[in-house]
Chains A and B, each alone.
Chain A
Amino acid sequence: MDVFGINLRRTYLIARRDYLGYVKTWGFWISFFLPVVFAILGFFATTLDLNLQPTRYEAILDETGQHAVKMQAMAKKSSDEVNRAIVLKLGESVLSDSDTKALETVFDTEGIEGARNYIDNKIPGLGKRLKVPAETTRYITPPADTIEALQPYLRGEKMVEYQGEKVRLNGVLHIYGDVPLYVNYWSENFNNAPARTLASKYFSETATKAYLNSGGLTQAGLMAAKTGSVELSTLDPSKAQSDETDTQVVTQRDRAPYFVAIGLALVLWFTIFSGSYMLLTSMLEEKLNKLLEMMLASTRFAEIMCGKLVGVAILTVTAMLPYIILGVLSVLVVIKFGDPELGAGLQDAFNAKMLIFFFVFLILGYVFYGAFFIAMGAMANSMQDAQTLTTPIMLVLSACVLVVPLGLDSPDSPILVWASWFPLSAPFASIVRLPTDPPLWELVGSALSVLISSVIIVWVAGRLFRYGVLSGSGVKGIKVWFSRVILRRKV
């Protein structure tokens, strides 16, 4: 079947060859699965780190008798806060508001085990499966009264009895003196020093409190003065107004579309960049393989060029698939389990208009830049040639990404509006403008500017490609080529 004189079967065969040429290599699959592996490792890394790390046994030898108990209480509170956050997050996700409130009370009074039982009562089995970070540091009573007597324990020559087990004493915090107060941390593994960190935090807070108290102030009062002095809100006048004053307050839901637009513009840029570069290398490989001339006895130039564009486009999508899947999963996780405001914002951001224009600009941008790179590849005779030829277009492509952050800082900037009409930057600029809801005619106009430019570029690239594959002019012949191929002068 032919479309505009292009035979679809031959175009498909070229596309398939280009696609399989890359996909059937080990390198491709390694790079394909690498992000998935990294994502899985990254996801479990924190838990693995916390759970695989052996528990440290630390002691506080407090000769002053004033700090050890308070410090251990602070450590417990810190650990409880982490567990409390995990328990409440789970409660918010699976329980009603009133049950979550009750769960909070249970946790505060009965601790993590009480919370587990409460969740099990509501949803059988879930409480037992609730995992919290393992206790990484346990503070135990010092097995001796002097720091000298503790040395054999710290060196591992003697073990400590703890809940019927023989354990190694990993560190000792020795507090002594009056004014000045001395705090020494003893440990063979001095890089991992939880008691030292605890001491630093405890004495900093204690000193702050003492200083404030000496002036008749309290820490709570200071915090209240800092945060309660002014109510600072951001409001959006374009949001619907109602009797309730906070309906116009800007929330994460309002901000999400801007971040999504920037994310998609960067994905667009990366996809076009990597796809175009693959086209360049594929074209160069083709030219160096010297097979094109033989294929041209049975295939049109346009079919080979379209085949390459389609094949590498599908290849690029395949290569991006792990990122796309991870991205979609992340968004779904946030929508389902994350902050409700942010989830609603993400749902708003991924609307039909955004997705349609994203794919329109992805296709147009890819064809526009891809045709450029095919022509460059056809003109080059070596990778060095290709780099020389593509440097200017690479610089332009790099410059275009600079408009993307404007979408966050000043989405109504005239630079962004102009950039959305300039074919080289239009795909990226138009996407970041979308959350400001520009007129549809502007978006369609931007798309048309890229479309018209693409048609011209594809025509020029087609001619350069045709002459490039049959000659070996290289970089030096560009002027001659331009005169002969584009201006059709006899040189």
Chain B
Amino acid sequence: MSQSPLILDHVSKTFSGKMAVNDVSFTVNSGEIVGFLGPNGAGKTTTLRMALGLIKPDAGAVSLFGDTPGANAFGRIGFLPEERGLYKKQTARESIALMARLNGIKGKEAIRRADEMLDRYGLSDAKKKKNKDMSKGMAQKVQLLGAIVHDPEFYMLDEPFSGLDPVNQKILEDMVREIASRDRTIVFSTHVMEHAERLCDRIILMSGGKKVFDGTTQAALATAPRRLVVGSDDMEALLAVVTPMSEKLVKREDGTFSLIMKDQVKTQTVLEQLVQKQIGLTRYEPKAPTLHEAFVAMVGNDGLHSLPEDGAE
């Protein structure tokens, strides 16, 4: 396996005069789980299509397994596109077996693997069920199984969590972890930050066709503003202490205050000063930063206009 299965070098793509992807470069290393994040229209799908060679970049170069994307990568890639669909008249088994065969697995072995996948992911009853008779969630799982049935080296999953209920999202997360445990490389796009936070070693954030962040999840979280929720019976004294250390103060419905601390101020410092001034606290709760907050900090609310709050679809 190549050390870097995917390299994008200053890649750009324009559609009808609109820059969909603007000078994007990144490398995906072998064995990584990379979250490809950004709001709708950020350029994630176009970038993934260029990475696969489905569309050609107007500028820049793409290297997939050390070569121009194309037939050399057949059988080594598991791709789940953003658009969902299956042949309606095929059964789940036939759908998965067809994808297995197209990826080089022969005859009965393709059927055996299809059955094994369906059994493993709780779809045994769907083996002989026609796709048109399945629920949306089941059909989506069948399509995902079709994308990974040949156990490829590199998984590209475009919005894999989209449209799944929480139970199936959890199953899919476990599936991603299980795949990663076998030293496979995974890139998945999403606009739901929680999945990325829980699964990814590394995050690439796209906004307006540009890459705005590329680093570890921890590095991304470090860019988020630190928030603290504080409350006291003596609010006047409390505010006198915290206001000079705060970037922003917001009164909450329960009477407590949520504050975003200035860059150089640590939560420990705030606590020390409140204790020193002998202010009785009813609430002191440092809030863990979220990726959503980190990205708002990076691109502003305008750049994330279509990005939902964490946990929302």
Q: Which residues on A are within 8 Å of B, measured CB to CB?
A: 5, 7, 10, 13, 17, 21, 24-25, 288-291, 293-300, 470, 480, 490-491
How far apart are the CA atoms of A296 and B71 in the complex, in Å? 10
CB distance from A338 to the nearest CB of B (A): 44
Contact A293 B87 (CB under 8 A): no
**19 extra interchain contacts, Cβ-Cβ under 8 A, other than A10-B102, A21-B90, A300-B71?**
A7-B71, A21-B89, A25-B89, A288-B85, A289-B86, A289-B88, A290-B84, A293-B81, A294-B80, A296-B52, A297-B54, A297-B78, A298-B79, A298-B103, A299-B74, A299-B102, A470-B49, A470-B55, A491-B16
Residues of B within 8 A of A299 (CB): 74, 102
Residues of B within 8 A of A470 (CB): 49, 54-55
CB distance from A470 to the nearest CB of B (A): 6
Q: Which of B14, B71, B79, B88 contacts A294 (CB 8 A)?
A: B79
Given contacts A17-B98, A470-B55, A491-B16, contact A294 B87 (CB under 8 A): no
Q: Which of A5, A13, A21, A289 contacts B102 (CB 8 A)?
A: A13
CB distance from B275 to the nearest CB of A (A): 59
| B143 in contact (CB, < 8 A) | yes
| B83 in contact (CB, < 8 A) | yes
Residues of A within 8 A of B127 (CB): none
Contact B89 A290 (CB under 8 A): no
Residues of B within 8 A of A297 (CB): 52, 54, 73-74, 77-79, 147, 156
Contact B74 A298 (CB under 8 A): yes
Given contacts A10-B102, A13-B98, contact A294 B143 (CB under 8 A): yes
How far apart are the CA atoms of A291 and B84 in the complex, in Å? 7
Contact A24 B103 (CB under 8 A): no
| B75 in contact (CB, < 8 A) | yes
How far apart are the CA atoms of A7 and B104 in the complex, in Å? 11
Contact B86 A480 (CB under 8 A): no
| B129 in contact (CB, < 8 A) | no
Q: Which of A10, A21, A288, A294 contacts B81 (CB 8 A)?
A: A294
Residues of B within 8 A of A25 (CB): 89
Contact A21 B87 (CB under 8 A): yes
CB distance from A110 to the nearest CB of B (A): 65
8 closest pairs, A vs B, by CB? A290-B85, A297-B79, A290-B83, A293-B81, A289-B85, A298-B102, A291-B85, A298-B103
1/0 per residue, CB under 8 A from A, across B131-160: the answer is: 000000000000100110000000010000
List which B77-128 residues lie within 8 A (CB) of chain A: 77-81, 83-90, 98-99, 101-103
**Least CB separation from A297: chain B residue:** B79
CB distance from B88 to the nearest CB of A (A): 7
Residues of B within 8 A of A5 (CB): 71
**Least CB separation from A288: chain B residue:** B85
How far apart are the CA atoms of A25 and B130 in the complex, in Å? 12
Most buried by B among A10, A24, A294, A296: A294
How far apart are the CA atoms of A300 and B102 in the complex, in Å? 11
Interface residue count for B (Cβ, 8 Å)? 34
How far apart are the CA atoms of A444 and B39 in the complex, in Å? 59
Contact A294 B54 (CB under 8 A): no
Residues of A within 8 A of B58 (CB): 490
Q: Which residues on B are within 8 Å of A, measured CB to CB?
A: 14, 16-17, 49, 52, 54-55, 58, 71, 73-75, 77-81, 83-90, 98-99, 101-103, 143, 146-147, 156
How far apart are the CA atoms of A183 and B113 in the complex, in Å? 86
How far apart are the CA atoms of A24 and B89 in the complex, in Å? 9
**Least CB separation from A22: chain B residue:** B89
How far apart are the CA atoms of A297 and B156 in the complex, in Å? 10
CB distance from B111 to the nearest CB of A (A): 14
CB distance from B94 to the nearest CB of A (A): 9
How far apart are the CA atoms of A480 and B14 in the complex, in Å? 14
**Least CB separation from B55: chain A residue:** A470
Contact B74 A293 (CB under 8 A): no
How far apart are the CA atoms of A296 and B87 in the complex, in Å? 15
Contact A13 B80 (CB under 8 A): no
Given contacts A17-B87, A470-B55, contact A294 B16 (CB under 8 A): no
How far apart are the CA atoms of A299 and B146 in the complex, in Å? 14
**Least CB separation from B74: chain A residue:** A298
Q: Which of B14, B88, B90 contacts A490 (CB 8 A)?
A: B14
Contact B86 A291 (CB under 8 A): yes
How far apart are the CA atoms of A480 and B98 in the complex, in Å? 34
**Least CB separation from B77: chain A residue:** A297
Residues of B within 8 A of A491 (CB): 16-17
The 7 sampled A-B contact pairs (Cβ below 8 Å) are: A13-B98, A17-B87, A289-B86, A289-B87, A290-B85, A295-B102, A297-B74
How far apart are the CA atoms of A288 and B16 in the complex, in Å? 23
Contact B54 A293 (CB under 8 A): yes
Contact A294 B146 (CB under 8 A): yes
How far apart are the CA atoms of A480 and B80 in the complex, in Å? 28
Contact B101 A13 (CB under 8 A): yes
Residues of B within 8 A of A10 (CB): 102
Q: Which of B14, B55, B77 contacts A298 (CB 8 A)?
A: B77
**Least CB separation from B150: chain A residue:** A298
**Least CB separation from B71: chain A residue:** A300
Contact A296 B83 (CB under 8 A): no
CB distance from A111 to the nearest CB of B (A): 62
Residues of A within 8 A of B71 (CB): 5, 7, 300
How far apart are the CA atoms of A491 and B89 in the complex, in Å? 39
CB distance from A381 to the nearest CB of B (A): 12
How far apart are the CA atoms of A290 and B156 in the complex, in Å? 17
How far apart are the CA atoms of A297 and B99 in the complex, in Å? 10
**Least CB separation from A2: chain B residue:** B71
CB distance from A5 to the nearest CB of B (A): 8
Contact A290 B81 (CB under 8 A): yes
How far apart are the CA atoms of A326 and B16 in the complex, in Å? 55
Residues of B within 8 A of A7 (CB): 71
**Least CB separation from B110: chain A residue:** A13
CB distance from A392 to the nearest CB of B (A): 25
Residues of B within 8 A of A289 (CB): 85-88
How far apart are the CA atoms of A379 and B240 in the complex, in Å? 66
CB distance from A312 to the nearest CB of B (A): 15
How far apart are the CA atoms of A21 and B90 in the complex, in Å? 7
Residues of A within 8 A of B85 (CB): 288-291
Most buried by B among A5, A17, A297: A297
How far apart are the CA atoms of A17 and B86 in the complex, in Å? 12
How far apart are the CA atoms of A296 and B103 in the complex, in Å? 11
Contact A296 B54 (CB under 8 A): yes
How far apart are the CA atoms of A300 and B84 in the complex, in Å? 20
**Least CB separation from B131: chain A residue:** A289
Residues of B within 8 A of A490 (CB): 14, 58
Residues of A within 8 A of B74 (CB): 297-299
Residues of B within 8 A of A293 (CB): 54, 79, 81, 83
**Least CB separation from A290: chain B residue:** B85
CB distance from B103 to the nearest CB of A (A): 5
How far apart are the CA atoms of A486 and B109 in the complex, in Å? 42
